[in-house]
Amino acid sequence: MSMIAAVVGRILLGALFIVSGLNKIVSPGTTAQYIESTTTLPGYLAMPTGVFELVAGLLLMVGLMTRLVAVLLAGFVLLTVFFFHNDLRDPVQMTEALKNLAIVGGLLAVFAYGQMRGTYDHLRTVRRADKAELRAAHAEGVAEGTRHDTTTVVTDVNRDGVPEVRKRRWW
């Protein structure tokens, strides 16, 4: 159940950044005016910011480079709080700052559980481990029957010393 919650949370956080990035890409002029009127930053940062949010949101949603993307987005959101929502006397700015801090908390949770099942990174890691196990079995001469059979992977799943033969997954 926790894996499902982690995957759904990661997808929802990614969707948040995808929508925000698309809004910045679709109307860069409005975003540039807001950036220039609120901070001392140049307005031309609107388009790169939108592209960053879009790409990072897609990577987070798919589960590719999850931990790196989560840290980068957390830093980005903290910079957003620092530059745009720093007037904490204003109730609207305080609400926005607290919302962004909650997003940072979610991104740090994604960082902490970034290697869970359900991410593309995890699937690649499992596949790499299966290949390494097969190569080791071939090198030791344990898997003589599987040397030419590419549909099986020899592993010792339950650590009892007896290799189990499993079908390879499609990825």
Assess whether 44 and 100 both reside in one domain: yes
pLDDT confidence bin for 154, thresholds 50/70/90: low
The span from the CA of 10 to the CA of 55, in Å, is 14
**Residue 166, strand partner residues:** 153
> How do residues 60-98 score in pLDDT, each as one tens digit?
998 888 899 999 999 999 999 999 888 889 999 999 999
User: Which of the listed residues 92, 112, 132 is the one where a domain comes to its end?
Assistant: 112
pLDDT confidence bin for 118, thresholds 50/70/90: low
- Please list the alpha-helical segments (H only) found in 28-151: 28-38, 46-62, 66-84, 91-112, 120-140
Assess whether 100 and 130 both reside in one domain: no
What's the pTM? 0.70
Assess whether 105 and 133 both reside in one domain: no
> How do residues 11-29 score in pLDDT, each as one tens digit?
999 999 999 999 999 999 9
Closest C-alpha among 122, 124, 114 to residue 6: 114
Assess whether 55 and 99 both reside in one domain: yes
The range of the structural domain enclosing residue 152 comes to 120-167
Mean predicted lDDT score pLDDT of the chain: 84
Assess whether 12 and 85 both reside in one domain: yes
Assess whether 108 and 147 both reside in one domain: no
Assess whether 79 and 42 both reside in one domain: yes
Please, are residues 133 and 165 in contact by the beta-carbon 8 Å criterion?
no
Assess whether 103 and 128 both reside in one domain: no
Q: How many domains does the chain have?
A: 2
Higher-pLDDT residue of 21, 113: 21
Assess whether 18 and 54 both reside in one domain: yes
CA 140 to chain CA mean position, Å:
37
Assess whether 60 and 127 both reside in one domain: no
Assess whether 18 and 73 both reside in one domain: yes
Assess whether 108 and 126 both reside in one domain: no
Contacts for 41 with CB less than 8 Å, ≥ 6 apart: 35, 83
